Structures are given as structure tokens and as C-alpha cells.
Amino acid sequence: MLNIVDLRNDFDGSIKKDLYKKLTQRTGTQNGTNTISIVAEIIDNVKQNGDSALKEYTKKFDKAQIETIKVSEEDITAAYKEVAPELLETIKKSKQNIWSFHEKQLQNSWISPKEDGTMLGQLVRPLEKVGLYVPGGTAPLISSVLMTAVPAKVAGVEKLIMCTPPSQDGSINPAILVAAREAGVDEVYRAGGAQAVAAMAYGTETIPSVDKICGPGNVYVATAKRLVFGDCDIDMFAGPSEILVIADSSAVPEYVAADLLSQAEHDILASSVLVTDDVSLLDSVKTEIEKQLLGLKRNEIIEKSLKSYGFGILVDNLEEAIEVSNNIAPEHLELCIKEPMSILGMIKNAGAIFVGNYSPEPLGDYMAGPSHVLPTSGTARFSSPVNVDQFIKKSSLIYYNKQSLEATNNDIVRFAEAELLDAHANAIKVRFNK
């Protein structure tokens, strides 16, 4: 079911080029001007009419007539009763692992005092208020709540709020509410779509404005995030999920097939790619995929996904496999090879790297600890997994005394004059009576 691409005879590089394009541009990030104007209108309406606009959109888009936007303590208590105790334990364990991993990322403010009396440094502080968007839909994204909220709380975010669209009866999936509470989310609101993004960006009577909005969503949510960006911060744009497995003859076809299938079930736009130098491994993986697929519930989605974006890529050697991976910059990269640690230094672009036969991608989705919110569609070239860095900000610190300023005062004046800014030069001159 995988599309086979043989790069061993790609003499002019044209096959590679087409492949990279196909895999990194599965969805455009440009939004049509029509979507932009619809979303801009929603944002304006929420800005001007606050809660009443929100309720109106919730009625229109979510078919839910809600009275209160904020989820109450009673709702949350009730949710705990509906979640299986084993699942609650699993959620707690997952939260603990996420917390431990992210705690190691905390940075200190620092200073660098020098003999000449100067002192420079950086103050590191958490964002004060963060908003998390959680889409609705049939499959509850329990783990995504943990994987965004916990890093924010570890960073020290004081107020973490969450917006999610309600069902038609106004309810929210209890597992989502429980995960939110366990992760430390302070307040949950019934609001979805572009209107929820607008509410978190500008505030309403009920929903406070935040400094940063995180979380995936449909094209309206993504467009709204793009439009409010600058008035508050936003996280990355989440595209369809993807995995790339680099495997050699030491890999287990059964495992590789299962991991490719697990990615393909997300979405018909999801991409599952195997890159190997071993033709017989590729054959075995293909056979295993056909076999395992029969027992899987989401086989229709998987078939469509593999047909469009499932690839088995043959290369001459491991170096070429890494080159292919670096160009695709996959969200998830599995290394099912003999000596995975020896190639870490060659991997330039990847959201998360899963090392060895017993680190399958679902381990990272749920339990390992690093956030599963990862850069997609080739954006691992320039962006990072959700982690503590995204919930802190820094301020530069500059201290000079009279002597150290005097030692450099001519440079400052010269620079200011070269840039034709004489009031800048004046600010130095007045201090030394020039």
C-alpha cells in the first residue's frame, strides 16, 4: 500500500525534489482572502460585543445554546465521576512524566559582572496569562491538553485558561475537563472557533485576554491566530501529523509497520514514510502493513492516508537516508537502526527523535514526557516542540558606571552621529559636560 520511490537511480535529483515538495506541502499555510474576511469580521464582533457575540456564534456554529460560558466547579466535579479510575491514574502518571521532563528546561536569570564595573545579563520570567485552544470533535484530545498545559505551568504561567467548543447540549467531554484540571488549567470556557481565539486575544466580560494563545484548530482557528498575532503571541501552526522511519536490516518489520500505521490513522492527510537501504525489509514491512491493517478500526482513513502520503523510499546507504530525513524535517523521526546514537549529530531537522526498537511514536504521544506538540510540514527546520521556552520571556539588563560609560562614550557619539541621531549623542554628552 506504500508508494515505492527508488532514490538509488535519482541521478539528477528530480525525484527527491518532487518528493520533498509533496511531503512538506501537504497543506498550504496561506489562508484564502475569503476566509480572512470572514474571520476578521468574527474578531471585530467579539472585540465589540464580547460575551454576547460569543454566545451567538456558539449557537450558530456549535448548535449549542449556552447560558454560562465558564465551566463551573460542579461541572468539573461531575466530570471526575465519569472518568474511569484507571484512566485517571494514567493521566496522572503522564502528567508527572511531562512535568519532570520540562522541569529540566527551566532557565535562570543570569548576570555577567565585569572588572570594569559593567554588568550585563538577562532576566527570565514566565508569561503571565496563557490561553489554550482545544478543538471539539469525536476523538477527545486528552493527551494534547496535558502536553501543552503542563509545560506552561512548569514555566510558571500564573493564569492558564482553556477554550473548547461545547457539544450541542452545552457539555464538554469529561476526560478533557479532568485532564485540564490535572494539568493545572485554571479556568475552562465553552467557546470554539475563531471567536474563542478573538476572546482570548482581546478579552470579554467573562474571558480574560491572554499573552499567548496555543493549540491546534481548523482553518478558521488558524486564520484567527494569524490575525491576532502581534496583539498577543501564538504558537506554531499545526499541520497534519507525520512520521519518518529510518530503518536498516536490524529493524523489525512488524514494529515498523505498526508505527507507520499508527501515524496514518490520524488523518487522510497524515504522512507515513519509511526510508531504508534494505529492499527485503521494505518488502516485509509492506506485507506486515497489509496484514495488520485488517485488524484496525480506522482502516479506511489509513488506506486513504497511505495511498496519498505513505512512502517506502529506497536509498543507497544510511547517509542518504539521513539527508532525505533532513530535507523532509519530519515531525516524528524513528531510528530503527543498529547504532542510532552514532547518527544523532547528523540529524538537523526533526520534531522528536525516537531511538531504537522500543521507542515507538505512541510512547511519545502519551507517556514519555516531551510534549507531543511538535513542528509539522517541514517547520522543524525552524521551530521546536512545545517546551518551557515558549512560556517564558527575557529582558536584557544593562548596567554601566560613570567610568565604564566614559570609556566608551566616544564610540556611542560617533555611532549616533553616523546614524544622524544627534539627540542620542546628546544623551551621552550631557553626562560628561561636553
Q: What residues numbered 201-220 form the site for its own copies, per CB under 8 A? A: 211-212
Does residue 264 belong to the site contacting its own copies (CB under 8 A)? yes
Contacts of its own copies in 279-318 (CB under 8 A): 292, 295-298, 302
Annotated binding site for NAD(+): 133, 195, 218
User: Could you tell me which stretch among 57-65, 189-197, 313-321, 376-384 binds its own copies (CB under 8 A)?
Assistant: 376-384
Phi, psi at 237, each rounded to 5°: -90, 120
**59 vs 431, beta carbon nearer its own copies:** 431
CA nearest neighbour of 198 among 51, 30, 393: 51
Among 262, 276, 325, 327, binds its own copies (CB under 8 A): 262
Q: Does 266 bind its own copies (CB under 8 A)?
A: yes
Name the burial class of residue 395, with classes exposed (0-12), middle (13-18) and buried (19+) by CB atoms within 10 angstroms of its CB.
exposed
> What sign does the CA torsion over 33, 39, 42, 47 have?
negative
Q: How far is the CB of 182 from its own copies (least distance, A)?
A: 13
Kindly state whether residue 149 participates in binding its own copies, applying the rule CB under 8 A: no
Asked if residue 402 binds its own copies (CB under 8 A), the reply is: yes
Tell whether residue 40 is a contact of its own copies (CB under 8 A): yes
- Whether 332 is catalytic is yes
Assign residue 229 a region: left if phi > 0, alpha if psi is -120 to 50, beta otherwise? beta
**In whole angstroms, what is the distance from residue 177 CA to residue 265 CA?**
25
Q: What's 70's DSSP letter?
A: B
**Choosing from 182, 242, 320, 331, which is the catalytic residue?**
331
How far is the C-alpha of 315 from the C-alpha of 84, rounded, in Å? 47
Among 37, 52, 317, 342, binds its own copies (CB under 8 A): 37
3-class DSSP state of 294: coil
Q: Which of 89, 186, 189 is nearest to 129 (CA)?
A: 186
* Residue 386 near residue 148 (C-beta atoms within 8 A): yes
Asked if residue 242 binds its own copies (CB under 8 A), the reply is no
- For position 136 contacting its own copies by CB under 8 A, the verdict is no
Binding-site residue positions = 133, 195, 218, 241, 263, 266, 332, 365, 419, 424
Residue in this structure with the C-alpha cell 507515513, named with its chain if needed? 272
Binding its own copies (rule: CB under 8 A), the pick from 14, 108, 169, 230 is 230
Of the residues 78, 218, 426, 434, which one makes contact with its own copies according to CB under 8 A: 426
**Using the rule CB under 8 A, is 104 a contact of its own copies?**
yes
- Between 227 and 314, name the residue whose CB sits nearer to its own copies: 227
128 scored as a contact of its own copies (CB under 8 A) = yes
Quick one: cell of 131? 490561553
With binding defined as CB under 8 A, does residue 360 bind its own copies?
A: yes
Asked whether position 328 contacts its own copies by CB under 8 A, the answer is no
H or E stretch covering 159: strand 159-164
The least distance separating its own copies from the CB of residue 188, rounded to whole angstroms, comes to: 19
Tell me: does residue 51 bind its own copies (CB under 8 A): no
Q: How far apart are CB 169 and its own copies at their closest, in Å?
A: 20
Among 102, 265, 288, 332, the one annotated catalytic: 332
Q: Tell me the three state secondary structure of residue 106.
A: coil
How many CB atoms within 10 Å of residue 387? 17
How many Cβ atoms are within 10 Å of 413's Cβ, its own excluded?
19
Residue 254 is a binding residue for its own copies (CB under 8 A)? yes
Binding mask 157-196 for its own copies (x = CB under 8 A): ------------------x---------------------
Give yes or no for a contact between 355 and 337, defined as CB atoms under 8 angstroms apart: no
HSE of 418, CA atoms in CB hemisphere, 13 A: 6
Enzyme catalytic residues:
331-332
